Amino acid sequence: MARKACIIGGGVIGGGWAARFLLNGWDVAVFDPDPEAERKISEVLANARRSLPALSDVPMPAEGRLSFAGTITEAVEGADYIQESVSERLELKHRVFAQIQQASHGVPIGSSTSGFKPSELQEGAADPSVIFVAHPFNPVYLLPLAEVVPSAKSDAKLIESAKEILREIGMFPLHVRKEIDAHIADRFLEAVWREALWLVKDGIATTEEIDEAIRMGFGLRWGQMGLFETYRVAGGEAGMKHFMAQFGPCLSWPWTKLMDVPEFTDELVDLIAGQSDAQSGHYSIRELERIRDSNLIGFMRALKDRNWGAGKVLLDHDKRRRAAFHDGAATGEGAPLVMAQMQVLPGWIDYNGHMTESRYLFAASDTSDAFLRLIGADMDYVAGGHSYYTAETHIMHLGEAKLGDRLTGTLQILGSDEKRIHAFIRIQRGEDVVASLEQMFLHVDMKAGRACAAAPEVLARLAPLAEAHKRLARPDAAGRHVGQRRA
């Protein structure tokens, strides 16, 4: 049975939370008195459905059920996690917490507040121990960071449980150990924002020029290394101490106006709004969101390929979800081994709208890698200097897989000895086989560069599987040559 998340407040942030939970298999109940809430959340959810699966190499779970409640009490009923995302007014948040806690007891209540401290949120609460800050970043369904800020009154075990829930939906909970106004990330954003206001007000730069300075330069560095690691690299071989000695004195120079705030006048607002309209007004908000999401996907997938920064969070989330699928622990009695579950992602599609040829090989690799892990020839085994290499592959394309299709990879052992595994892989959409691959794997001593016998423990795991598969019917396509007519 799916767990339930309750979202109080269905704006941009609340809608993002709802999408993040829904697409990770949670049921979600939303309360928002805004009569447009359903439309707004449906639009956010449409963007999330288009973009979040593109970050994953594991099929998304079945989407949870979305409901809209007429009252907070109705929304909260049966919830395993509650996220408050109402307007940044402390008295409003206090009223919302009071209503939540009339119907909820002991359930984690995270607040999306970007500025208030948890001790302020907890004032007057029936049970302050379950209220904490869980501050995300827009778009919530893509960006992994959530600043988790407890207070001295928080239940430490509940905070750890809440952090694990956030990890389960693919987020990175950053535990802020000391509460402070605006937490960590927004304090940086506020400092940059103030300086940007001065640059526009003083006529030094336009909104577009400031954005170009960020996205063409340090924004790219910050996105994958942050602040201190970036400056450590800037220090060269001498490191951080050299950087600090070289650039530290400039902190006393009058480069910035961070201690001075421009008067927030109508004229300043009109100036910035006018420049922003000229810069981006030819796009609708939804178009800008889709452009943003597409750019973030490309950037984050590049980080994922390198197991770096936000990419490490995505890889960990894939690992968690992959573990939820059948891991091939059975011996395959009566049927080939089900080794992989996949979903056709946007990056897998060619100009015809079908899954491209290279991705069938990728799907087969995912299937065979899972099988090798099953018999003990995993990455630790490879690190020890031995591995199975693919020596030969024959692929038949039997159907067309399209965007969003869920695929299963099965493996049947046709034969094996101490050095070789002869396997037949099927890539299926439901019961339909869209491709089959016949492969020969050769066990190799990587240092010597030649074939050798597999380790006894690997052969011991392989033997009962191979014996069980002797009783399976040999696939008709096994042993085919290229161009052979189908029966």
Residue 295 located in a structural domain: no
Same domain, 357 and 440: yes
Would you say residue 246 has pLDDT above 80?
A: no
Residue 372 has a pLDDT of 96
Q: Are residues 170 and 201 in the same domain?
A: no
Residue with the bigger pLDDT between 322 and 73: it is: 73
For residues 220 and 350, membership in a common domain is answered with no
Ranking 31-35, 124-128, 187-191 by mean pLDDT, the lowest is 187-191
- The answer as to whether 293 is a domain residue is no
Residues 203, 153, single domain; the answer is: no
Predicted confidence band of residue 329 (pLDDT cuts 50, 70, 90): very low
* % of the chain at pLDDT higher than 90: 65
pTM of the shown model: 0.77
Do both 120 and 191 map to the same domain?
Answer: no
* Distance, CA of 227 to CA of 389 (rounded, Å): 42
- Res 404 pLDDT > 90: no
CATH number at residue 220: 1.10.1040.10
Mean of all residue pLDDT scores within the chain: 90
Which residues are bridge partners to 423 per DSSP? 413, 439
User: Is the same domain home to 35 and 161?
Assistant: yes
Domain count, the chain: 3
Cβ 258 vs Cβ 247: under 8 Å? no
Q: Phi and psi for 392 in degrees, rounded to 5?
A: -160, 140
Q: Is residue 482 part of a domain?
A: no
- 259 plus 190 within the same structural domain: yes
**Are 143 and 199 within one domain?**
no
Reported confidence tier of residue 407, pLDDT bands at 50, 70, 90: very high
Average pLDDT over residues 215-243: 82
- The confidence score (pLDDT) of residue 425 equals 97
How far from chain centre, in Å, is Cα 460?
37
Q: Is the pLDDT of residue 298 over 90?
A: no
386 lies in some domain: yes
Same domain, 191 and 168: no
Closest CA to 454 of 410, 414, 420, 415: 420
pLDDT at 107 > cutoff 80: yes
Taking 90 as the threshold, does the pLDDT of residue 253 lie above it?
Answer: no
- Tell me if 268 is assigned to some domain: yes
Q: Which of 103-117, 124-138, 313-327, 352-366 has the lowest mean pLDDT?
A: 313-327
Give domain status of residue 274, yes or no: yes
Determine which of 122-131, 274-283, 417-426 has the lowest per-residue pLDDT on average. 274-283
CATH code for the domain of 163: 3.40.50.720
pLDDT recorded at residue 328: 40
Per-residue pLDDT, 212? 92
pLDDT for res 284: 86
**Whether pLDDT at 332 is above 80:** no
Instruction: Convert the pLDDT of each residue in 439-471 to its tens digit.
Output: 999 999 999 999 999 999 999 999 999 999 999
Which of residues 250, 282, 314 is at a domain's end? 282
**What is the tens place of the pLDDT at every residue in 345-396?**
877 888 888 999 899 999 999 999 999 999 999 999 999 999 999 999 999 9
261 and 337, same domain (yes or no): no
181-197 residue pLDDT tens:
999 999 989 889 999 99
**In the prediction, which pLDDT does 363 show?**
94
Lowest mean pLDDT among 14-23, 217-226, 318-327, 397-406: 318-327
129-185: pLDDT as tens digits: 999 999 999 999 999 999 999 999 999 999 999 999 999 999 999 999 999 999 999
Residue 206 has pLDDT above 50, yes or no: yes
* pLDDT recorded at residue 327: 45
- Is 341 part of any domain? yes
pLDDT band at residue 266 under the 50/70/90 scheme: confident
Instruction: List the one residue out of 108, 156, 116, 155 whose CA is nearest residue 135.
Output: 116
Domain coverage including residue 464: 327-469
Mean pLDDT of 102-115: 95
Residue pLDDT, tens place only, 45-91:
999 998 998 888 888 899 999 999 999 999 999 999 999 999 999 99
**How far is it, in rounded angstroms, from Cα 132 to Cα 143?**
20
Comparing C-alpha atoms, which of 159, 145, 72 is closest to residue 114? 145
Query: Does residue 130 share a domain with residue 64?
Result: yes
Final residue of a domain: which of 255, 282, 309?
282
Tell me what pLDDT residue 23 has.
96
- Do residue 237 and residue 350 come from a single domain? no
Residue 304 lies in a domain: no
